[in-house]
Structure 1
Amino acid sequence: MRVTLNATKTRTALRTSARISLDVLLVLLLTWVALWILGWMWPVVWPLVIGLLLTTLTWPMTRFLRRRGWRPALAATTVTVLFLLGAAGTVALIAVPVASQADELTTGVINGIEELRDWASGPPLNIGDDQVSQALDEAVARIQGSIGSIISATVTGVGAVANGVITAVLALFLMFFFLKDGPRFLPWLTRQLPGRLATDVPTVATRCWDTLGSFVRSQAAVGLLDAVFIGLGLWIVGVPLVLPLAVLTFIAAFVPIVGALFAGFVAVLIALVSNGPTDALIVLGIIIVVQQLEGNIFQPMLQSRSLGLHAAVVLLAVTLGGSLAGITGSLLAVPLAAMIAVIWHYIRDQLSEPDPEPEPEPVPEAGRPH
């Protein structure tokens, strides 16, 4: 009898495990299909994502104008124009000082190359001019041999720039329409959904929107900290173009990994050609220290508090997103993880709510006929 009972329990456990495994496989299959569809629609999805991120950044000002009685179209137009002027002003703030000192920087680059060549010709390297010329000849020969690859890469780069311009234009148009008609979306969505979904989906969408806004604000705070500390270090060292470099650092903070590397490279290069190798190494050390503080302390702390995620989850999300989808994955990993957490918390709260107890039937009063 006991053997039969154990066999029955074993079969039941195997059936349960098989059913759970089948459910997991089904979920993985649906996830793969969803990711494939997302990749197929990425030329449309990517401008939509950028438009949403820009909208979270500009919505507070739009909301302020609308509360002051401005019409939605006028408020959205004003904010969009101001955003474009701010972007153009930022570019001018970086480009104009650099252009005004272009001759100085060019001279510094040439002198830096000459100093590097003189240093390489002495001990311990002892590289002669004939060796340098031979290396240059070999480099030219390799470039001539791979001219086809260079042309292909150039065409690809031009196509990438064109796609980037199209994406930026679409994102700006989407931002305008989101600012203008965004508050109408949830009421419209409520009318389209049946039953309980009319309540659950708008609630989750509102929470996800708040989470996305928190992500953008925290990222802006991190970029501001980077710009202040790196700009202060550049000013102390005496590097020129401090303000443009600080602005570039703030903007680059919105692009994980590559943005920080690019801004740091520009700062070190300007320090090298204007102040010399010693100050360039000092600037490099300052940037490394600030980036380490940002990546390991500032960013996880700010994002974990504003998004409701643990700092370790933020780090793991950025790592996983970068390994799966490169720069784009690193940029979207944290807000996506936060939205998944929002959806999970909402589902958990709904499932944990006890069912409403049935109301007790009224007790008939004494003496009243039934």
Structure 2
Amino acid sequence: MKIRKKELSYIILTFFLCFAIYQNWDKGSHIIATLWASLKPFLYGAGIAYVINIVMYAYEKWLVILLPFKPIVKLKRPIAMVLSYLTFMVIIVWIFSIVIPDLIASLQLLLRIDTQAISKIIADLNDNDIVNHALDLFGENADLSATISKYTQQILQQLLGFLTNILTSVSSIASTILNVFISLVFSIYVLANKEQLIRQTHALVTVYAGKWANYLFYLTDILHDRFHNFFVGQTLEAVILGSLTAVGMLLFGFPYAATVGVLVAFTALIPVVGAYIGATVGFILIATESFTQALLFLLFLVILQQLEGNIIYPKVVGNSIGLPGMWVLLVITLGGAIGGIFGMILGVPVAGTIYQVIKDDVQKRQLD
């Protein structure tokens, strides 16, 4: 009878809780949105600290090995922290110094395009029987000018929306700079007090979580392992792919080799689809110089991506994420729809953690 009363009290409590949430949904969602906006810089700061910590740990280890002097060992944390932030700053400045000039040059080329030459090319293509037959197969009007005009209007609409978003972002640049500053300061605080924060968190979980403490530590261990392996492996794989892209483009004489190599490396941080995003941007850049070379570049990168994906990627990244390829593709699609690029990147290690927890639980139940 006591059990039934207890169950009934839980049901009544759950009902009233759901009813209260339903009645105050608008106010609650507004409060949650406000809290999220306020906490966002600190969450970003924690994320920055996690990534910086991977590099900082390596610097600390190398400082002790290469300079085993007592003063250096005592100051290894601040020295390693400064070196880590400087490393990322140098990389960011280097990327912008390569990419921005080439982007400006390609835009200048687009502005200098002779409209009469384009009209002549369209007229020649419009008189081409093969092109007209291809348009008929795709169900398009045989008038190539009308077809191009239709797609141009669609592209311009997308471009206008993109520029509007940029202008909106520029208008809030002061707020963005402030948030970045808060995130960086908070990340420095987290790294400087890393051990103390870990001890405090461990003590709080042990005291208040009770019997769930060990399970929570088990979850965080898997989560840390998946995130660490993902960032290290994916970054190394991206650097290799970007370097091979740049070297191959130089050998074949493609323009914008350094810029496209950097873009491919940066976008390759997104598993599976990242390299193809970089290929699209590279195609547009090279097409401003030569459309034929742009097509050859796509062929080159597809072949390189296949070789890299089948030979290099399994050895560098391997099964570090612990997630089959089919689920990786699904997670990237869902993560991109929910959180954009960050959703794609963060979704994979999170899904890898969930997959591992379910896998361990299934194996445990089978043994019992």
- Check whether TM > 0.5: yes
C-alpha change, 1:248 and 1:204, in structure 2 (3 Å) is same
Partners of 1:303 and 1:311 within 8 A in 2: no
Query: Which blocks of at least 5 consecutive residues in structure 2 are unaligned?
Result: 1-10, 65-72, 129-144
1:335 partner letter: P
1: CA distance, partners of 2:38 / 2:216:
23
Relative contact order, higher structure (CA 8 A, sep 6+): 1
Alpha-carbon separation, structure 1, partners of 2:239 and 2:36: 30
- 1:304–1:310 CA contact under 8 A, matched in 2: no
CA–CA distance in structure 2, aligned partners of residues 105 and 154 of structure 1: 17
Match of 1:219 among 216, 220, 234: 234
Q: Is the 8 A contact 2:223 2:350 kept in 1?
A: no
Indicate the residue corresponding to 1:117 in structure 2: 119
Of 329, 332, 336, the residue aligned with 1:318 is 332
Cα pair 1:112 1:273 within 8 Å, conserved: no
Structure 1 portions without partners, runs of 5+: 1-21, 355-370
1:178 aligns with 2:186: no
Q: How far off is 1:307 after superposition?
A: 1.6
1:242 is matched with which residue? Answer: 257
223, 227, 231: which one aligns with 1:208: 223
Letter in 2 for 1:180: A
**Structure 1 position 121, deviation (Å):** 2.7
2:323 matched to which residue of 1? 309
Paired residue for 1:368? none
Name the CA shift for 1:177/1:203 in 2 (closer, same or farther; >3 Å). farther
Pair member with larger Rg: 1
* Aligned partner letter, 2:52: T
**1:85 Cα offset (Å):** 2.5
TM-score relative to the length of structure 1: 0.64
Q: Which amino acid aligns with 2:96?
A: V
Q: Secondary structure at the match of 1:338?
A: helix
Shift of 1:230: 2.7
CA drift at 1:49? 5.3
Q: Corresponding residue for 2:81?
A: 76
Structure 2-normalised TM-score? 0.64
1:6-21 → structure 2 map (5 Å cutoff): none
Q: CA deviation at 1:84?
A: 1.6
Identity of aligned residues (%): 19
Offset at 1:45? 5.9
Residue in structure 2 matching 1:272, options 287, 304, 310: 287
8 A Cα contact 2:41 2:180, kept in partner: yes
Verify the 8 A CA contact 1:227 1:249 in the aligned structure 2.
Answer: yes
Going from structure 1 to structure 2, the CA distance change for 1:344 and 1:173 (only over 3 Å counts) comes to farther
Whether the 8 Å CA contact 2:226–2:353 is kept in 1: the answer is yes
In the alignment, the residues of structure 2 paired with residue 44 and residue 295 of structure 1 have an alpha-carbon distance, to the nearest angstrom, of 41
Number of matched residues? 310
Compute the displacement of 1:170 (Å): 3.9
Match of residue 96, structure 2, among 91, 100, 103? 91
Alpha-carbon RMSD? 4.7
